[in-house]
Structure 1
């Protein structure tokens, strides 16, 4: 959809990112996030759209986002799915302080923001925080012990054999995933396992990211009736592909780092921005469990100075990790006594989605 078409059906646009957190500085980018409701053909026909994240140099209605590359406007159904899944980046959109544009329909959605909160936030907020930690640890490893050269197949025991390509590895793992899934799909006792395998956990992603461990090789070979040398080659190729992917990521990290951020990272020994966001996410998740609301503005939350101190490098890597461990432990305690439901009421959320579409009209 063209920019103007999206903006004509937009129900709100909010100022997100560092300005919303109260962590902005004079050179901070403006991050705008919003919601629109697609026209009739996108609901009843073959057309589909989840979000508009480019094309802001086209003719439009909202001058404040013209040319702004840090703008995303989500389609309602997509945003409702993310809200129901307690996605931290999307949940906060309903608790912003600044909405440069909002309609009656947008206000109605925000009035019902409470129905999206559940104890799932413990898992999503801590999961997003751990993602920041993984990035932090990867960058720290590169700082302290950078890779010296591009990995070669022979370093992984692949001598005369041809390395399996990424597509060949993924094709086999897709087959393995479908083979395992097919064993449990129609077993009533395994319904929860099937739900985990197909929806709640990205098992295909896990298989592709991590090489098959030694103890599974014989079982995998017998399960798939494949040659044992193929399974060994698969494992070697996976390890090689993982190392190659890390090498490429390292080169990209070196070439594309912000110079100021890189200097701070070198001085402190870890990525300060990832460390700050890790702590912010864990504190936010803890607040939601305890208070039943999302506090986006860290000035209002009372820890903006502390988060800025992390960004300045006032805390060591060990201190930030200790903060994270303590917050996770607190989350476990607060989770048990939180008044929030275990999961959101999907029927009520579905009804709200219908109401919003009807309010907007075609």
Structure 2
């Protein structure tokens, strides 16, 4: 959709990111997040749209986002799905302090923001925090022990046989996932395992990211009726592709690092921004479970100076990791006592979505 059409049907735009958290510096970018309701053809026809995240140099009606690359305006159905899934980056959109654009329809959505709060936040906020830890650990490894050369197939024992390309690996791993899932589905005693496999987790992505352990190679070969040499080549190729992906990520990280941030990383031995966001996410998740509200502005939460101290390198890597460990332990305890529902009421949320579309009109 063109920018003008999106903006004409936008119900809210909020100032998010570092400005929303109260952690902005004079040179901080402006991050805008918003919601629009698509016209009739996107609901009743074949056209599909989920968000507008580019094209802000087109003709528009909100000059404050002219040329701003850090602007995303989500279509209502997309953001309702993300909100229902307790997505941390989206939940905070309904709890911001600053809305440059807010219509009566947008106000109605914000009025019902607590519909989206559930105990699922424990899993999503801790999951996003662990993603920050993963990045922090990866960057720390690169800082302390940087890769020396681009990996080649022979480094992984692949000599005469051709290395399996990424598409071949992914196709086989997806087949393996579906095969395992299909077998478990018909085993009564494996009900819990089946629930786990069909949960809202990207197990295919996990299979593709992590290599098959040695202990499972023989079982995998029997399960899939594959030749043993193929399964061995699969593991070698996985190891090679993982190393190659890390090498490319390392080069991209080196090339695109902010010089000031890189210097702080060098001094502290870890990525301070990822460390700060990890702690912010865990504290926010804990607050939601305890208080039933999202506190985006960390000045209101009372820990803005502490988070800034992490960004300045005043805490060591070990201290930040200990903070994270303690917060995860607290979240486990609070989770059981929280009065939030286990999951959001999807029927009520569906009704809200229809009300909002009707209020906006087809246009």
Q: Which residue of 1 aligns with 2:304?
A: 304
**Within 1, Cα distance between the matches of 2:319 and 2:218?**
43
**Within 1, Cα distance between the matches of 2:354 and 2:192?**
29
Do residues 183 (structure 1) and 160 (structure 2) align? no
Q: Quick one: structure 1 residues 245 and 112, their matched pair in 2 at CA, closer, same or farther if it must change by over 3 Å?
A: same
What SS does the aligned partner of 1:264 have? Answer: helix
Q: Which residue of 1 aligns with 2:75?
A: 75
**Within 2, Cα distance between the matches of 1:10 and 1:17?**
20
Cα shift at 1:153: 1.1
Cα shift at 1:181: 2.6
Q: Which residue of 2 aligns with 1:278?
A: 278
Q: Which residue of 2 aligns with 1:316?
A: 316
CA RMSD of aligned residues (A): 1.3
Q: Which residue of 2 aligns with 1:204?
A: 204
**Within 1, Cα distance between the matches of 2:329 and 2:245?**
34
**Within 1, Cα distance between the matches of 2:9 and 2:297?**
28
Match runs of 1:1-362 below 5 Å:
1-185=1-185, 193-362=193-362
Q: Quick one: structure 1 residues 181 and 13, their matched pair in 2 at CA, closer, same or farther if it must change by over 3 Å?
A: same
What TM-score comes out, normalization by structure 1 length? 0.98
**Within 1, Cα distance between the matches of 2:109 and 2:190?**
37
Q: Deviations over 1:327-357 (max 9, x none)?
A: 1111111111111111111111111111111
Q: Quick one: structure 1 residues 237 and 348, their matched pair in 2 at CA, closer, same or farther if it must change by over 3 Å?
A: same
What SS does the aligned partner of 2:343 have? Answer: coil
**Within 1, Cα distance between the matches of 2:191 and 2:64?**
49
**Within 1, Cα distance between the matches of 2:150 and 2:215?**
28
Cα shift at 1:219: 1.2
**Within 2, Cα distance between the matches of 1:317 and 1:106?**
41
Cα shift at 1:185: 4.5
Q: Deviations over 1:127-179 (max 9, x none)?
A: 10110000000000000001111112111111111111111111111211222
How many residue pairs get matched? Answer: 362
Structure 2 gap ranges (5+): none
**Within 1, Cα distance between the matches of 2:275 and 2:73?**
28
Q: Quick one: structure 1 residues 81 and 283, their matched pair in 2 at CA, closer, same or farther if it must change by over 3 Å?
A: same
Cα shift at 1:197: 2.6
Q: Deviations over 1:175-233 (max 9, x none)?
A: 11222233244667766644543451111101100111111111111111110100000
Q: Quick one: structure 1 residues 187 and 104, their matched pair in 2 at CA, closer, same or farther if it must change by over 3 Å?
A: farther
Q: Quick one: structure 1 residues 48 and 313, their matched pair in 2 at CA, closer, same or farther if it must change by over 3 Å?
A: same
Q: Quick one: structure 1 residues 332 and 225, their matched pair in 2 at CA, closer, same or farther if it must change by over 3 Å?
A: same
**Within 2, Cα distance between the matches of 1:248 and 1:206?**
19
**Within 2, Cα distance between the matches of 1:87 and 1:192?**
25
**Within 2, Cα distance between the matches of 1:17 and 1:257?**
19
Q: Deviations over 1:261-282 (max 9, x none)?
A: 0000001100000000000001
Instruction: Name which of structure 1's ranges 213-222 and 88-97 shifts more when overlaid on structure 2.
Output: 213-222
**Within 2, Cα distance between the matches of 1:160 and 1:96?**
58
**Within 2, Cα distance between the matches of 1:228 and 1:314?**
53
Q: Quick one: structure 1 residues 60 and 133, their matched pair in 2 at CA, closer, same or farther if it must change by over 3 Å?
A: same
